[in-house]
Structure 1
Amino acid sequence: MRAALTLLAALSAAGTGASVTASPLGPPKPPKVGASDINPFAGKKLFANPKWAAKLDDTYKSFVQKNDKANAAVVRKVQKTGSFVWVTSRSGLSEIDDAIRSARDEQRRTGQKQIVGLVLYNLPDRDCSAGESAGELSSRNDGLRIYKEQFVKPYAQKLAAAKDLQFAVVLEPDSLGNAVTNMGVEFCAQAVPTYREGIAFAIKSLQLENVALYVDAAHGGWLGWADNLPLAAKEFATVLSIANTGNTSSGKNATIRGFSTNVSNYNPYITSNSTHPRDPYTEWSPSYDESHYASSLSPYLTELGLPAHFIVDQGRVALPGARAEWGEWCNVEPAGFGHTPTADQKVLQNENVDAIVWVKPGGESDGECGLAGAPKAGAWFGGYVEMLVKNADASVKA
């Protein structure tokens, strides 16, 4: 999956000069389409996927064999950490059933309310600008109808039948980022109308009280440049407008909770001189970390009547100096597990952010790129996950 801006977009945005603040937008405000202001993550534990935890058993054994007890202990903590479950194909819909069963068991066992993180990721012509995560559907082969009828509808039905659980759903990582910056790529230009209609359909289909929807907003190094911020907000508003063309089954406007950022990327949540200094390539961006991206994008969203709530993926974070430019997105080295999932504002320090989460399961390859010998996207990358453990954030090791 591609999680970086095009070089053209980066250069044009970088040329705007120093950091700027958001200015009022011209068009009148449409009716607000945001959902309740109640943070769905508050008071809940992000569901820890036992299937992902099982994959880490070999990582644990590897550290034990090296007599590295400290990192073996970190693996055990990581295995208990909440992460999102990716649903990326029609056959993969069974992942939802497995997650529901496991979350119910955990909720009964501990008495702690669970929030199940899911990713909905199967648009036709997916990953139009990179192709490392090209999916099973093509718009040329009736892909949009199949997506709606055989993927989104059963997806929604499964969540509707699990009213005892709360869900947070990330919708189609990277897709609308491509709509903002990569229309010069022919395949993307052809795919974007399908992206818009498909995501709008998913939004309408998932209007459920136990579901919080987060439309993916790429990351600060992609859409966070001063020139791209208003374009991103306009694109999101376009999709919500499509979702509200005609009434939903309830006769009410379709709503979303907010937006997800940094999914499958490596940007830090917050930078500071003492803990994680800014990399040089962020110099001219108002969105030099993901917290600042949320703050930079929020005024543009609010002006268009969109909800300015965010979840930020910190499943993996690049160490300072790991990248020469933001465009490096594939199996970045060195990197480590980021801050553990939390909705605590003492940690977040940003009222626009609902939670730090782990969306990308650490250990799954980004694709056959970035590092020699890297396996295909989604395949297990044993040596890489050992690096993530060794470089894990202090909150993981605590």
Structure 2
Amino acid sequence: MTGQPQSGRARWRSGKTVAGVSALAMSAAALGVALPAYAAEGCEVEYSVTNEWSSGFSASVSVTNLGDSLDGWQLEWDFPGDQQVTNGWSGDFNQSGQHVTVSNTSWNGTLDTDGSVQFGFNGSGAGDVPSEFTLNGVACDGSTGEPDPDPTETPDPDPSETPDPEPEPGERVDNPFEGADLYVNPVWSEKAAGEPGGGAIADESTAVWMDRIGAIEGNDSPTTGSMGLRDHLDEAVAQAGGRPMTIQVVIYNLPGRDCAALASNGELGQEEIGRYKTEYIDVIADIMDDEKYSDLRIATIIEPDSLPNLVTNVGSRDTATENCDTMLENGNYVEGVGYALSELGDISNVYNYVDAGHHGWIGWDTNLGPSVEVFREAATTAGATIDDVHGFAVNTANYSALIEPHFDVGDTVNGQQVRQSDWVDWNQYIDSQSFAQALRSEAVSQGFDSDIGAIIDTSRNGWGGSERPDGPSSSNDLNTFVEESRIDRRIHVGNWCNQSGAGLGERPQAAPASGIDAYTWIKPPGESDGSSEEIDNDEGKGFDRMCDPTYEGNVRNGNNPSGALPDAPLAGHWFSAQFQELLANAHPAV
């Protein structure tokens, strides 16, 4: 989706090269290839060349189904020259001569009406754009495949074919990011604009973090200024024009917060669930329920870094911590999240997204299924129901690549699976998007609504700059191949604090891929993850050695160096050096 830049509003972006096609390409039937179960009635394709180098290119393809829901899809095209697909992701690729066939994988086969699916690949040769595409044998020309009426006759309108009207502000919708402008936090925007080159992104939307009780009224912190929740909601109303306005609010103040880390510990003790409910959630809910905010779409991100800790950092695991064991035993994480879902979910224009960690945390089968079980437990506790969960938030305040373009988890190198490499370490996922889509599927299998969505924090996972590989490695050694091919340049996937070399990622955009409600900037770029040395403070924030650039690691990051930047301030405080690095390494570039 694209929109015209407006003062005080976020700008939506889409792929740079779009191919609209008008004639039927060579069909699968002509090649003797079996089509999926249902034919498409119409479709659109966006084919974007995202990178080119001397001998090849990378491309991203988005397919939108304009017909009935599909249970299995197959996209075909002919390359205009001698291009060859060298490797692909999020699809099964087959090429014969110039003709390419891409079919769904096991996890992205369902393509609903007006739903989209995205995949990508690397190719050899020039990045010329194909002119024709077919989906399940039907030309993707933006039409629905229905014949044109007789031009001499004016057919009576069919009420069943009347397009749905645009949602009104405040009307409940499936995706709160679609068809809406995004709130620009003026406090963050001013700080970004004050940095050299920062004006280029100062009008992007970032989430508002309610990271302490005082933030509700405005705690005059170095980062949030004196604007409280009402101030931000009032400003969102003022920024709204003719389109709906979406504002993102992070709910982040559980008792015993961040039990496996110290940098972002919170103000409430492990047993202070009563204060969490009455002084924090109840107050936030009362404000959000004010009639004057009823036209806003309020997307809440519920308690980052909480529930997954109850799976990975407890019990007999070598990653367990005493604090996480306590929070599992007293039940206050589950109770607190359930209460937040219940109270905020009762407000018709609030959309709750439960934080679900990232692929490098719970991407293994032994973690993913059990984590969704905990999410479901929280969603049925303290008055909450499954309907109170609108979706999940992935990669919040983290650095996991959105899509690894140069290899897939199912690839093999010299007879060895990519999963066997030291970097992947038998994980099922190598990036945020494939993980988010699989998480959705697992959640639906465990009883969550089938239309549940996901949002991905792309504020710091661009990984551009000179260290970004421009294509897959040619090495036959598995670990060398992965190390030279991966765009995520962290030392270890478990590193999370002020990572050196990171860059801004995809700009906020709605419905970018199947099952994904939006790419969003949940973590405001330039706000520190934690101090690089111990700093006395009255914010309840401790010193975590993972933020110390001299630290050689622990079991949770494979005993690797932390990869953190030096001279970092307290978590949430402005970190100019990090902002400048994110700007310089942005991908797409600023």
TM-score of the two chains, using structure 2 as the length reference: 0.54
Say what the alpha-carbon RMSD is for the aligned residues. 2.3
Distance 1:321 1:342 in 2: 21
* Residues 209 and 249, structure 2, Cα contact 8 Å, conserved in 1: yes
Equivalent residue for 1:180, pick from 311, 314, 317: 311
Instruction: Report 1:1-398 matches (<5 A).
Output: 38-59=174-195, 63=196, 72=197, 75-94=198-217, 95-107=228-240, 110-140=241-271, 143-161=272-290, 162-183=293-314, 184-192=320-328, 193-207=331-345, 208-244=347-383, 254-273=387-406, 281-282=423-424, 284-307=426-449, 308-317=452-461, 319=463, 320=487, 322-344=489-511, 348-349=512-513, 351-368=514-531, 369=547, 370-394=564-588, 397=590
* Residues 255 and 332, structure 2, Cα contact 8 Å, conserved in 1: yes
> Does the residue aligned with 2:176 lie in a helix, a strand or coil?
coil
Q: Summarize deviations over 1:290-314 as a string: whole Å, max 9, x none.
A: 1110122223211111144100000
* Residues 318 and 332, structure 1, Cα contact 8 Å, conserved in 2: no
* Residues 204 and 254, structure 1, Cα contact 8 Å, conserved in 2: no
**Which letter maps to 2:333?**
Y
Gaps of 5+ in 1: 1-19, 23-35, 64-71
* Residues 253 and 267, structure 2, Cα contact 8 Å, conserved in 1: yes
**Which letter maps to 1:56?**
A
Distance 2:248 2:530 in 1: 23
**Which letter maps to 1:313?**
D
Gaps of 5+ in 2: 1-104, 108-171, 218-227, 315-319, 412-417, 464-486, 532-546, 548-563
* Residues 119 and 171, structure 1, Cα contact 8 Å, conserved in 2: yes
* Residues 318 and 333, structure 1, Cα contact 8 Å, conserved in 2: no
**Which letter maps to 1:287?**
Y
Query: Deviation at 1:261?
Result: 0.5
> Does the residue aligned with 1:336 lie in a helix, a strand or coil?
coil
Distance 1:362 1:272 in 2: 23
* Residues 339 and 382, structure 2, Cα contact 8 Å, conserved in 1: yes
* Residues 335 and 387, structure 1, Cα contact 8 Å, conserved in 2: yes
Q: Summarize deviations over 1:299-332 as a string: whole Å, max 9, x none.
A: 3211111144100000111622521211111101
Query: Deviation at 1:371?
Result: 2.0
Greater fraction of residues in helix: 1
Counterpart in 2 of 1:26? none
> Does the residue aligned with 2:243 lie in a helix, a strand or coil?
coil
Query: Deviation at 1:267?
Result: 1.0
Greater fraction of residues in strand: 2
Distance 2:173 2:425 in 1: 33
- Which stretch shows the higher mean deviation, 315-324 or 382-391? 315-324
Query: Deviation at 1:336?
Result: 1.0
**Which letter maps to 2:569?**
P
> Does the residue aligned with 1:237 lie in a helix, a strand or coil?
helix
* Residues 462 and 506, structure 2, Cα contact 8 Å, conserved in 1: no
> Does the residue aligned with 2:517 lie in a helix, a strand or coil?
strand
Counterpart in 2 of 1:29? none
Larger radius of gyration: 2
> Does the residue aligned with 2:353 lie in a helix, a strand or coil?
strand
> Does the residue aligned with 2:307 lie in a helix, a strand or coil?
helix
Distance 2:297 2:378 in 1: 24
Distance 2:242 2:258 in 1: 40
* Residues 203 and 254, structure 1, Cα contact 8 Å, conserved in 2: no
Distance 1:266 1:39 in 2: 24
Query: Deviation at 1:254?
Result: 4.8
Seq. identity, %: 33
> Does the residue aligned with 1:117 lie in a helix, a strand or coil?
strand
Query: Deviation at 1:199?
Result: 0.5
Cα distance 1:280–1:353, how it changes in 2: closer, same or farther (>3 A)?
farther
Distance 1:124 1:81 in 2: 32
> Does the residue aligned with 1:264 lie in a helix, a strand or coil?
coil
Cα distance 1:280–1:47, how it changes in 2: closer, same or farther (>3 A)?
farther
Distance 1:280 1:46 in 2: 39
**Which letter maps to 2:306?**
S
* Residues 318 and 334, structure 1, Cα contact 8 Å, conserved in 2: no
* Residues 184 and 203, structure 2, Cα contact 8 Å, conserved in 1: yes
